[in-house]
C-alpha cells in the first residue's frame, strides 16, 4: 500500500519555532502577551482595516460579530445554505431567523440574484461566505445593503489573501471574519479574527471576547460575553504564518493549476472555475463535482480514494438539510437544488500547502482509475 496522502498538511517552516521559543523564554504565554497585539496590527494593515480582534477560532469570530450587531429574536439574517454550520449557530441561538439562499452552480457561492427577494422589514443583515476559492461578487451585495440599510457580515475564513477587484477579501464587511484552522492560508492551529472599521463595533467585539469585564468595575457584568481570547502562543505562530502568506498563495495557485492541467480532459466532472471578471481562483481547496449522469456519487468515490490511501473531504452539507434543524421544525419543504447537488456530488482532493508534485500526479492517477472503472 502506498503512503497516505493527506487532504491537508500545513507548512510551519518559517519563524514559528523562533517566536514560540520567545514566548516560552519570556513567560508570555497567555492572551496578555505582545504577539497578540502584533498579530492584530499586522493583519489589519494587510487588509487595510482599522480594527482587528483576535479570538479563539473562526466560529467564535462569527458568533461575536453577530452578537455585536445586536441581532435579536425575530430579526432575519440572509445567508447561503451551502456553507459550514458555524455561520448559522449564533443567529439561531439569539432567536433570530436565518433566511437561506441557494448557491451559484459555477462559483459555488451564494446566488446573488436570489438575495433581494428574500428581504423583509425584519431583515437586519446579510452574511456572505467566500467558498473554496472564488469570492462572492460583492458589489451587488453592498448595493443591496445600502439600499435596505442592512449590515454586511463577510466570512473570509477560506480566502485569506484573496482579492475582489484587487481589494483584499475581509475588507468589505461592516464586520469581516477569518479562521486560522490548520487548513487555512494562515494557521494558528485554532484561532480566528474579526475586522471592522467601526469603533463601536470593535469595542463591543473586544468586550464580548473578554466576558464583558468593565475597565472600572472588573467583576461587575452588565452583559454576557465569552472567553474568546487568543493566546500569545497562537498569535506567535500567526505572525510567522502571516510572513509566509504570499508564498502560500502562490503555492495554492500552483496546486490548482496543476490539477486543472491534469484533469481538464476528464469527462464527467466539473472542475473549479479558474476565474471570474472580478477574481482569479485561489484554490483554497481543490474541489470537483461529479456529473450525476455518472451514476456514482461523491461518497462512493471518496470511499474508494481512501481505500487507495488518498485523503479527501465532502463538500458542505446544506444548512436546510441539517438534521439538527429539521428536528426543530425548521426549513420545512425548503429546496435549494444547486446546493443539494453540490453536497451529493462534490468533494475535494488533497491540496494542502505541503503537498508535493508527485503526490498530485498520484492522486490524479488514482482518481482516473476509480472514475473509469465505475
In a domain, 83, yes or no: yes
Q: Under 8 Å CB-to-CB from 87, ≥6 apart: which residues?
A: 62, 79, 80, 127, 129, 155, 319
pLDDT digits (tens, 9 = 90+) for 298-347: 999 999 999 999 999 999 999 999 999 999 999 999 999 999 999 999 99
- From 195, 179, 175, 177, select the one nearest 70 (Cα to Cα): 175
For residue 141, being part of any structural domain is answered with yes
The reply to whether 78 and 173 lie within a common domain is yes
> Are 40 and 89 within one domain?
yes
User: Is 60 among the domain residues?
Assistant: yes
- pLDDT above 70 (res 1): no
Distance, in Å, from the CA atom of 296 to the CA atom of 175, rounded to the nearest integer, reads 41
- Do 239 and 317 belong together in one domain? no
In a domain, 8, yes or no: no
Same domain, 260 and 238: no
Q: What is the mean pLDDT of the chain?
A: 96
Span 79-122, pLDDT tens digits? 999 999 999 999 999 999 999 999 999 999 999 999 999 999 99
250 and 233, same domain (yes or no)? no
Q: Does residue 283 share a domain with residue 217? A: no
The CATH number that applies at residue 80 is 3.40.640.10
Q: Are residues 273 and 197 in the same domain?
A: no
The total number of residues shown for the chain amounts to: 374
Residues 269, 148: one domain? Answer: no
Same domain for 216 and 252, yes or no, is no
Out of 194, 227, 243, a domain closes at 243
C-alpha cell at 119: 428581504
CA angle 284, 285, 290 (to 5 degrees): 140
**What's the rounded Cα separation, in Å, for the pair 148 and 125?**
10
**Looking at the structure, do residues 260 and 332 belong to the same domain, yes or no?**
yes
Helix, strand or coil for residue 57?
coil
Domain range holding 213?
16-243
Cα(231)–Cα(71) distance, integer angstroms: 28
Residue 218 — very low, low, confident or very high, per pLDDT cuts 50/70/90? Answer: confident
What's the whole-model pTM score?
0.96
Q: How many CB atoms lie within 10 A of CB 199?
A: 10
Residue 287 pLDDT > 60:
yes
Q: Write down which residue in 225, 243, 261 finishes a domain.
A: 243
Decide if 9 is inside a domain: no
* Of the residues 210, 227, 243, the one at which a domain ends: 243
Which of 294 and 206 is assigned the larger pLDDT?
Answer: 206
Q: pLDDT tens, 127-171?
A: 999 999 999 999 999 999 999 999 999 999 999 999 999 999 999
Q: Helices in the chain by DSSP H: which ranges?
A: 16-26, 34-47, 58-68, 86-93, 138-148, 199-209, 232-243, 245-263, 298-307, 323-326, 337-345, 357-372
Amino acid at each position: 500500500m502506498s503512503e497516505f496522502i493527506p487532504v491537508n498538511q500545513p507548512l510551519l517552516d518559517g519563524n514559528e519555532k523562533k517566536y514560540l521559543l520567545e514566548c516560552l523564554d519570556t513567560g508570555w504565554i497567555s492572551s496578555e502577551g505582545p504577539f497578540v497585539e502584533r498579530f492584530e496590527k499586522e493583519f489589519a494593515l494587510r487588509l487595510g482595516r482599522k480594527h482587528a480582534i483576535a479570538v479563539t477560532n473562526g466560529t467564535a469570530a462569527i458568533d461575536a460579530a453577530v452578537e455585536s450587531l445586536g441581532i435579536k429574536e425575530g430579526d432575519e439574517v440572509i445567508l447561503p445554505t451551502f456553507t459550514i454550520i458555524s455561520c448559522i449557530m449564533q443567529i439561531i441561538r439569539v432567536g433570530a431567523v436565518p433566511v437561506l439562499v441557494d448557491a451559484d452552480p459555477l462559483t459555488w457561492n451564494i446566488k446573488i440574484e436570489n438575495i433581494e427577494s428574500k428581504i423583509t422589514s425584519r431583515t437586519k443583515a446579510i452574511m456572505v461566505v467566500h467558498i473554496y476559492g472564488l469570492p462572492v461578487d460583492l458589489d451587488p451585495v453592498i448595493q443591496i445593503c445600502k439600499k435596505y440599510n442592512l449590515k454586511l457580515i463577510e466570512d473570509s475564513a477560506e480566502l485569506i489573501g484573496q482579492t475582489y477587484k484587487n481589494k483584499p477579501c475581509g475588507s468589505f464587511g461592516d464586520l469581516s471574519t477569518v479562521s486560522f484552522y490548520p487548513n487555512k492560508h494562515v494557521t494558528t492551529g485554532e484561532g480566528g479574527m474579526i475586522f471592522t472599521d467601526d469603533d463601536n463595533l470593535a469595542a463591543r467585539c473586544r468586550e464580548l471576547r473578554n466576558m464583558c469585564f468593565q475597565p472600572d468595575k472588573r467583576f461587575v457584568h452588565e452583559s454576557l460575553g465569552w472567553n474568546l481570547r487568543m493566546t500569545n502562543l497562537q498569535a506567535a505562530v500567526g505572525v510567522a504564518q502571516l510572513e509566509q502568506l504570499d508564498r502560500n498563495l502562490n503555492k495554492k495557485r500552483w496546486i490548482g493549476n496543476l490539477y486543472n492541467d491534469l484533469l481538464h480532459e476528464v469527462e464527467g466532472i466539473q472542475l473549479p472555475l479558474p476565474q471570474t471578471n472580478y477574481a482569479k481562483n485561489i484554490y483554497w481547496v481543490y474541489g470537483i463535482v461529479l456529473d450525476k449522469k455518472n451514476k456514482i456519487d461523491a461518497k462512493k468515490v471518496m470511499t474508494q480514494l481512501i481505500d487507495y490511501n488518498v485523503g479527501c473531504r465532502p463538500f458542505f452539507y446544506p444548512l436546510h438539510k441539517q438534521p439538527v434543524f429539521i428536528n426543530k421544525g425548521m426549513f420545512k419543504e425548503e429546496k435549494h437544488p444547486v446546493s443539494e447537488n453540490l453536497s451529493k456530488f462534490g468533494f475535494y482532493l488533497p491540496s494542502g500547502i505541503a503537498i508535493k508534485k508527485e503526490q498530485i500526479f498520484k492522486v490524479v492517477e488514482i482518481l482516473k482509475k476509480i472514475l473509469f472503472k465505475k
